[in-house]
Amino acid sequence: MLFNSVTFVLFLPLVLLLIAAAPRRLRNVVILAASYVFYGAWDWRFLGLILTSTLIDYFTALVVEESDDPKRRKMALSVSLIGNLGILGTFKYFNFFVDSAVVLIEWAGFHASRPALNLILPVGISFYTLRTMSYTIDVYLGNMKATRRFLEFAVYVAYFPQLVAGPIERARDLLPQIVAPAKVTADRINIGLMLMMIGFTKKVLIADSIAPITAEIYDQPEAYSAGVLLQGCYLYTLQIFCDFSGYSDIARGVSELLGIRLGDNFRQPYLSQSVTEFWRRWHMSLGSWLRDYVYVPLGGNRYGSVRTYGNIMATWLLCGLWHGAAWTYVAWGGLNGFYICVERALGIGRGEPPLARSPREWAWRVTRTVITFHLVVTTFIVFPSPSFAHIVEYVRGMLVFDSLLAIGPLPFIAGLAVLAIDVPQNASDDHTIFLRLPWWLQSPVYAVLCLAMMLYGDREIPFIYFQF
């Protein structure tokens, strides 16, 4: 079920009504049932995978907490990791690793057959796998107590607002809210509706309007001039941001209506002044997950510069593989890791950038922001490209400099629309700053946006991160 679908528009009010009508003790039963219906709308068979992950981590966490035997604790943790990664690896990475092994064997001069599994990648499996694993790891590390409430834990795993594309909430943050949700007040309803409106505006009016254009350009890069190809890069960079951050805004808004607060997942990343800062602002829940469960256990920055750079690259290569079962995604992770290593060596991106106090400082901030944006643009060419050959063809086409000036107005229009949302949010450090507008100004804006979405929102284009 898509957020940007008529089905969801009917589904959400029904869920809210059922929760309001149900006794408090049955509230989480309704949310769990709604979550399973929401996910099962894609393919009911995938519910078995979610239930399997739920059972594995619920019971292994109890064993970890109740046992005083270090070997038994490690064994239980291993069952959790092997079980979750085994399911993820089978559905997402089996064919990738087999194909890579076959290529390597044939390169060495031997013949190898290519066994393959014809499996559909379950939507959201990468997201809920990280959530369930982090729970057991946190219990093992003593960061939280294992819950005895199976119902609430099942809700945590399958919680429908953030089930298929995040934010990747930690159990220690989300479980207490599921057990004892806050009262849904008028303020929370206003915040929820505002976040949903911002999210739908990003997704339906910006990202989905761009999507057909970028798809056409990336499908046949050889047919377009350098200017059009460059325009495709800019548009896709804006599209993926509005698509993914729009999902996060909608998820947070829906969750507010349920009395549960999800964490920020984006903080205006395209206003960053370094790639390092960009990745502190983009998909923040994944970044913190990789930091806490990959980078720090590898040693972080505790063992000298060479080891630190190696840990950064290892973390980013894994991040690339998490995004997709293809070497292009691994290369994408490696490129981002390289950027961050270079910035670290130059002392760039550490801490929050200082406030600009003069026109010269403002000019330097803008320059750094523009440079960072273009570095990010170069990495996002990978996402809609099916192969390295396609990427090379696309980049080669952009190097025909004589037609670079033939860029249409659409990237500028879409960019201004994004800035109109992001600049006020960034300046105020408040995603709901638009609630400060007087009601007589908010009302017509809501009306115009709703009308525009009714006119142009019939495409129901899936969110980009569903494929991850």
- C-beta separation of 227 from 405 below 8 A: yes
**The pLDDT value given to residue 107:** 80
Cis amide leading into 444 (omega within 30): no
383 has a pLDDT exceeding 70: yes
Least confident of 107-111, 274-278, 375-379, 451-455: 107-111
Q: Per-residue confidence at 408, pLDDT binned at 50, 70, 90? A: low
Q: What is the mean pLDDT of residues 355-363?
A: 77
**The pLDDT value given to residue 342:** 95
Q: What is the mean pLDDT of residues 323-338?
A: 94
Which tens digit of pLDDT belongs to each residue from 111-121? 767 676 777 78
Least confident of 115-119, 201-205, 400-404, 459-463: 400-404
Q: Per-residue confidence at 352, pLDDT binned at 50, 70, 90? A: low
Q: Model pTM greater than 0.85? A: yes
Q: Per-residue confidence at 290, pLDDT binned at 50, 70, 90? A: very high
Local structure of residue 178 (DSSP, 8 states): H
Q: Per-residue confidence at 316, pLDDT binned at 50, 70, 90? A: very high
For the chain, the first-to-last Cα distance in angstroms comes to 16
**The pLDDT value given to residue 354:** 65
**The pLDDT value given to residue 401:** 66
406 has a pLDDT exceeding 80: no
323 has catalytic annotation: yes
81 has a pLDDT exceeding 70: yes
409 has a pLDDT exceeding 90: no
- C-beta separation of 98 from 22 below 8 A: no
Q: Is 261 helix (H, G, I), strand (E, B) or coil?
A: coil
Of these residues, 111, 283, 323, 374, which one is catalytic? Answer: 323
What's the chain's average pLDDT?
Answer: 89
φ, ψ of residue 398 in degrees (nearest 5): -75, -15
Which tens digit of pLDDT belongs to each residue from 45-79? 889 999 999 999 999 999 999 988 999 999 999 99
364 has a pLDDT exceeding 70: yes
Q: Per-residue confidence at 356, pLDDT binned at 50, 70, 90? A: low
Task: Report in angstroms the alpha-carbon separations of 2 from 244, 250, 267, 283, 384.
Answer: 13, 11, 24, 20, 21
**The pLDDT value given to residue 412:** 81
Q: How many Cβ atoms sit within 10 Å of the Cβ of residue 56? A: 22
Q: Which pair of structure tokens corresponds to residue 252?
A: 């947070």
CA distance 430 to 454: 28
404 has a pLDDT exceeding 70: no
Between CA 213 and CA 217, with CA 216 as vertex, the angle to 5 degrees is 85
**The pLDDT value given to residue 223:** 85
Q: Which pair of structure tokens corresponds to residue 369?
A: 């922001």
Domain ranges of the chain: 31-181, 187-273+353-467
